[in-house]
Amino acid sequence: MLSKSQAKFFFVGGTLLFTLIFLGLTVDTMKKIPAQTNSENLTEEVKAGKKLWDKNNCMGCHTLLGEGAYYAPELTKSYERRGEGWLKVFLKDPETFYPGQRKMVKYNFTDTEIDSLIAFLKWIGEIDLNGFPPNHKKKAEK
């Protein structure tokens, strides 16, 4: 059994030790953020795409980086999965590929707005997400 002073030392020492560990991990994480987010690729076109994403409340239906609604597909890796050409056609007229089915609202985006949204989705898809979202097809193939 610990004496009162030993217990106090144990508590204060443990608190200091874990505070230092926490601060060290925080500093380490903060150093990694620029490399993981590809912030050097953050262009004005990407920023315009993000503003358009917010203005049209795309998160009201879609998820991005695991956040948002679950009504429509997760779009974090949509550029990688579908490619620029498919996204351009789909954003121009969402019913093109799925006539008569549940569909996305046709927003009548201009070509510049579509290019901005695609640039934003491409940038999001290039962020190092430590394996998110998981690729279920690879698991099924194994």
Q: E strand or H helix at 87, and its extent? A: helix 84-92
Please tell me the chain's helix, strand, coil percentages from 3-state DSSP, rounded to the nearest 5.
60, 5, 35
pLDDT at 59: 93
Q: Say whether pLDDT at 142 is over 70.
A: no
Predicted TM-score (pTM) of this structure? 0.73
State both tokens at 6: 């030993």
